[in-house]
Structure 1
Amino acid sequence: MTDSTQRFTDRVADYVKYRPSYPRDVVSFLHETCGVAPDAQVADIGAGTGISARLFLDAGHPVIAVEPNQAMREAANAWLAPYENFRSVAGTAEATTLEDASVDLVIAAQAFHWFDPVTTRREFARILRPQGHVALFWNSRLLDGSPFLAGYEALLRAYGVDYTEVAERYPDDAAMAAWFGDAFSRKGSFPNLQRLDFDGLKGRLMSSSYAPKAGHPNHEPLLVALRDLFDRTAHNGMVEFGYTTRVYAGYAAANA
C-alpha cells in the first residue's frame, strides 16, 4: 500500500487494544528539561487512535489531534470523548488545517517517519506560536537482549510484508539533528515495557502494517511461528516486549 495514511485502516481494533503507550517521563522531560508550559496547547500530528494524545490529556494539556485516517480518528474520538479539552480534525502533517500561530507544542509519536520532512517542518513552523516547541517521539522495539526479542525480530524478517523497508524508515540521532537544524534543543530516551499473553502478543503483531493478514500466504506460517516462539520463551504465561522511547525536542524553523 503506497498511501501511508491508509496503512492501518483495517488494523484499528488491534491498534487500540494492543499498541503500547509512552512513559509519562516524556511529558516530564518536556516540562522540566525543555520548558514546555504545563497548560500548553498541544497539536498531536498523526495522532492515530489517540494513544499519545491521552498521555498529554492526562497531564492536563488541551489537545487537538490531527489525523488523516478516518477509522483511526473515529477510534480516538470514541476513546477520548470523556476529555472536554480534546478535539480532532482531519488533516495531515503537511496540511494540518490548523490556524497560523495557534498552538504551543507540536508532537508526533510513532508517525513522524511517514511525513514529508521539508513540507512538515514548514507546516509546524506555521501553526506554532512564537517560541513554540516541537517534540517528536516513538517507541523503538528492542531487537535483542532476550531469546524472545531476538526470535520476534527473526520472525518479522522471515514473514513480514515490506518489514525491512518500514523498519529502516525510523530516523537516527543524526537525521533528527539535521531535521531540526539550529532549532534542535534536547533529546532523551526512556525505557518502556509491555507484558503480553499470547492473545496480546498476536494482537500486537497484527497491529503492525507489515504483518500479513488472513489470506496472505505468509499469514498462517507466521502465526505458527509466533505460537512456537511464545511457547519457548514465555515465563508464567507472559512475554516481555521491551522498548526504548526516544524523544527529540526543539523548535520549528521553516528553513532549518
Structure 2
Amino acid sequence: MADENASLPSTARFGDRVDDYVRYRPDYPVALLDWLQREQGVDSSWRVADIGAGTGISSKLFLDAGYRVTAVEPNAPMRTAAEHWLRAYAGFDAVDGGADATGLPDASVDLVTVAQAFHWFDEDAARREFARILRPRGLAAIWWNSRRLNGTRFLEGYEALLLAYGTDYASVAERYADDARMRAWFGAGFRGAARFEHAQQLDFEALRGRLMSSSYAPKAGHPRHEPMLRALRELFDSCAENGTVSFDYDTRIFAGQLA
C-alpha cells in the first residue's frame, strides 16, 4: 500500500488523531520555563505567541505561570481542542495561522514559542515571520521532547517497532534539527540551549494512545495496523514493571533573538 501520509500537508497530518493527542502526548518539564526565566530574562509580563500550538499543551505551561498566550494553529480540529481545553484561562486566545503567516500584528509579542512543531516549518519563512511579530529585544524559544532511542529494552524495542510498521517514520525522524542546525538558524542572535530529562509512565492503553497520536502510525484499516498493535502488546508485556513502561525523553530547547 502506498504511504498514506506522503501527500498530506503538515497542517493536516494530525486532524484525525486529536483525541489521542490530547490524552496521551507528553507535557513539557517546568524546568524548561524556569530556565527561560532564570537564564533568558523571560517573565510573566511577556506576551507569548505559541506557534504550531496544536492542542495547547505548550500554551498551558505558560498559562499556568500567569502568562498571556496566543495559540497560532492552522489545523482546525487541534485548534478547537485547545480552545475547549484552555477556555478557563483569561489570558488565552487562539488564531488560525501558520508559522509563515501568523496573522499577528508587527512587533506585537515578546516571546515566540515553538514546541514539537519546528520540523514541519519552512525555516526561512518562519524566521522572517517570527522577526516581524517580535518586539525589539524579544526572543524565540524552540524545543522538542526528543524520545530516547536506546538505553532500555523498551526504548530500543519501540524504535524497532516504528521502523518496522511506521508509514513514513524514517522521513519524519530525519526532519528533526540537531543542535548545530538550530544554532545556525538563530545565527548571531543565539542566546543559549539547555536539555532536561522528561518521562511518561504509561500503562498499555496509554502506550497505545501515545503510538496512535503519531502521524506515522498506521490507522485502522491499514494492513500494518493490527500487526503493529500485536507487536506493541508483546513489547509492553515483556518490558512492563508494575503495569507501566517508562517513555523517556530529552527535552531540548534553543533560544535567541531574530534580528
> How would you bin the TM-score normalised by the shorter chain?
over 0.9
**Distance (whole Å) between structure 2 residues aligned to residue 101 and residue 20 of structure 1:** 31
1:31 to 12, 18, 37: 37
After superposition, residues 181-200 of structure 1 pair within 5 angstroms as 181-200=187-206
Whole-angstrom CA distance in 1 between matches of 2:215 and 2:164: 15
Hey, what's the Cα distance between the residues in 2 that align with 1:142 and 1:196?
15
Matches within 5 A, 1:155-194: 155-194=161-200
Report matched runs for 1:16-165 at 5 Å. 16-165=22-171
Q: Does 1:231 align with 2:234?
A: no
Aligned residue number for residue 3 of structure 2:
none
Counterpart code for 1:223: L
Q: Distance in 1 between the 2:54 and 2:66 partners?
A: 20
Counterpart position of 1:222: 228
SS at match of 1:10: coil
Unaligned runs of 5+ in 2: 1-6
Distance 2:156 2:122 in 1: 31
In the alignment, the residues of structure 1 paired with residue 43 and residue 165 of structure 2 have an alpha-carbon distance, to the nearest angstrom, of: 45
TM-score (structure 2 length as normaliser): 0.97
Secondary structure of 2:42's partner?
A: coil
In the alignment, the residues of structure 1 paired with residue 9 and residue 24 of structure 2 have an alpha-carbon distance, to the nearest angstrom, of 23
Q: CA deviation at 1:39?
A: 1.8
Q: CA deviation at 1:38?
A: 2.5
Which residue number corresponds to residue 4 of structure 2? none
Give CA deviations for 1:156-193 in whole Å, capped at 9, x if unaligned: 00000100000110000110011000011100000001
Whole-Å Cα distance in 2 between the matches of residues 37 and 230 of structure 1? 42
Q: Distance in 1 between matches of 2:223 and 2:204?
A: 22
Which digits, 9 at most, give the CA deviation of each residue in 1:38-83, with x for residues without a partner? 3210000000000000000001110000000000000000000000
Distance in 2 of aligned mates of 1:157 and 1:232: 19
Q: Secondary structure at the match of 2:79?
A: helix
Residue matched to 2:252: 246
Could you tell me which residue of structure 2 aligns to residue 10 of structure 1? Answer: 16
Deviation beyond 4 Å, 4+ runs, structure 1:
none
